Amino acid sequence: MSQPLPSDTTSARLPLRELAQQLRRFLPHAALLDTPEDLHPYECDGLSAYRQLPGLVALPETIEQVQQILRLCSAHRVPVVARGAGTGLSGGALPRADGVLLSLAKFNRILEIDPLNRTAIVQPGVRNLAISEAVASQGLYYAPDPSSQIACSIGGNVAENAGGVHCLKYGLTVHNVLGLKFVTIDGELVTLGGKTLDSPGYDLLALFTGSEGLLGVIVEITVKLLPKPERAQVVLAAFDDLEKAGHAVAAIIAAGIIPAGLEMMDNPAIRAAEDYVHAGYPVEAQAILLCELDGTNEEVSEGIAQVRTLLTNQGATEVRTAKDDAERLRMWAGRKAAFPAVGRISPDYYCMDGTIPRKHLATVLKRISELSREYGLQVANVFHAGDGNLHPLILYDANKPGELERTEELGGKILELCVEVGGTITGEHGVGMEKINQMCVQFNSAELTQFHAIKTAFDPHGLLNPGKAVPTLHRCAEFGRMHVHGGKLAFPELERF
């Protein structure tokens, strides 16, 4: 691991062995893991560059058990990290050696499907795709579709405010969740929202969505379901220049078209995906765009014609429309498999996630390729172009001394570039451990202080996922990127290294 986790818990703690004894009083034997061979599978999430064996792993099956675990941990000041499917790419579910990893894997039931109200109530461990599969026979689906949807949990999606190909048109997780239940660190069960579109009081539901396990443990979620569109069709456009593809994205949106998905891949990503799934991609192209439209038959036909003309006018060297659903799925298969495809051509890769205003796509992509040359590390780009949500994949070899550190530095530079053009350091993967230093670039110390105040209101002793997502001001000072406002450095008493 490149940086030690800061320990934010200060009071004397119960040794984990004694905590385990107390947990065993109400957890079945198989629901508490403490031997190294049982703990190893939990040592990292999707950001495998960071690893840490958890102190204990608890696998509760009921809300009451979650409440009891949290009450005990709170009383004895033991840190708790919630874990969904562990597919997160920012180290958000990285365990702590001195704490409990609380897995929601056994919360895997769909509790209610209400087709009239178009809602479903699900437990947090339910896989994203399983929701759409369960309601497909009723002509419904759950819209946010992260590429990891076959594996990731809806609880993890809420905690990360996950996005996906279809979020350009249908919104992120935050726009598709109506209510949830969570357990506070003191074991209290709290309900936010419900089955209706609005609820009285402050919008704590939005606050919770994307809170990365820092405020409470989510134990139930009410999601919106949408009717499946009559037809969906995708257009693939090839470009001999990345900037032209970037301008084409801006032109589509500027024309008032809202595609169901608008994705871009650059040449290294195209080649890797083609080699892996044989999607029929033009491997000589410098960039391809996949633009999907959905709706009624007439809407789709009209939109596809308009998009084809636009892409041709923007200099596409080839514009291909999927003839049937099989071809549409084949075109998407390359995009959906792009991450594992890149994993085949490099010993390791580091997936970045930043968002920029769409109009800067072309310049930012150009700058990323300059940085890639400067650092001598190849970068493959595959991303949600319509949302301006970049996913540069930095290819590296962890076995080469210093290469991971250079990769992290390059990743940091890319995120800072996103901030420079008015964007953000996260699009959908969260901050976790990975981007915690760049939070010091994105936010000033007054803003970070407010974030800590919110955290403290829910979790006064900082026991839920400590050391993630929101950096301490000391950390920012050490990172050397504390904001200077009006020529005055905040907290001048802090030592700078």
Report the distance separating Cα 237 and Cα 264, nearest Å. Answer: 10
As given in the structure block, the two tokens for residue 491 are: 């907290």
- In whole angstroms, the minimum distance from the beta carbon of 358 to ligand FAD comes to 18
Report the distance separating Cα 234 and Cα 335, nearest Å. Answer: 12
* Closest by Cα among 465, 146, 471, 497 to 335: 146
As given in the structure block, the two tokens for residue 72 are: 């005990």
- In whole angstroms, the minimum distance from the beta carbon of 453 to ligand FAD comes to 20
Contact 469, 212 (CB under 8 A): yes
**Who's near 412: CB < 8 A, 6+ residues apart?**
437, 438
Q: Which residues of this protein are in contact with ligand FAD, per CB under 6 A?
A: 45-46, 81-89, 92-93, 104, 124, 146-148, 152-153, 155-157, 159-160, 162-164, 212-213, 217-218, 339, 428-429, 465
Strand ranges, E, within 240-323: 261-266, 287-295, 318-321
Nearer to ligand FAD, 66 or 245 (CB): 66
**Who's near 218: CB < 8 A, 6+ residues apart?**
82, 104, 124, 155, 158, 159, 180, 181, 182, 208
| Residue closest to ligand FAD (Cβ) | 156
Nearer to ligand FAD, 187 or 303 (CB): 187
Residue type, 312: T
- In whole angstroms, the minimum distance from the beta carbon of 182 to ligand FAD comes to 7
| Cα within 13 Å of Cα(108), Cβ side | 12
**Residue at token pair 């080469």:** 400
- In whole angstroms, the minimum distance from the beta carbon of 86 to ligand FAD comes to 4
**Who's near 30: CB < 8 A, 6+ residues apart?**
59
- In whole angstroms, the minimum distance from the beta carbon of 211 to ligand FAD comes to 7
Q: How many residues does the chain have?
A: 497
- In whole angstroms, the minimum distance from the beta carbon of 344 to ligand FAD comes to 13
Nearer to ligand FAD, 83 or 461 (CB): 83
Report the distance separating Cα 399 and Cα 7, nearest Å. Answer: 29
Nearer to ligand FAD, 221 or 304 (CB): 221
* Closest by Cα among 245, 313, 328 to 280: 328
**Who's near 104: CB < 8 A, 6+ residues apart?**
82, 83, 84, 123, 124, 125, 153, 155, 217, 218, 219
Nearer to ligand FAD, 303 or 423 (CB): 423
Nearer to ligand FAD, 74 or 87 (CB): 87
- In whole angstroms, the minimum distance from the beta carbon of 85 to ligand FAD comes to 4
- In whole angstroms, the minimum distance from the beta carbon of 68 to ligand FAD comes to 16
The secondary structure element, H or E, covering residue 102 is strand 100-103
- In whole angstroms, the minimum distance from the beta carbon of 260 to ligand FAD comes to 15
Nearer to ligand FAD, 45 or 316 (CB): 45
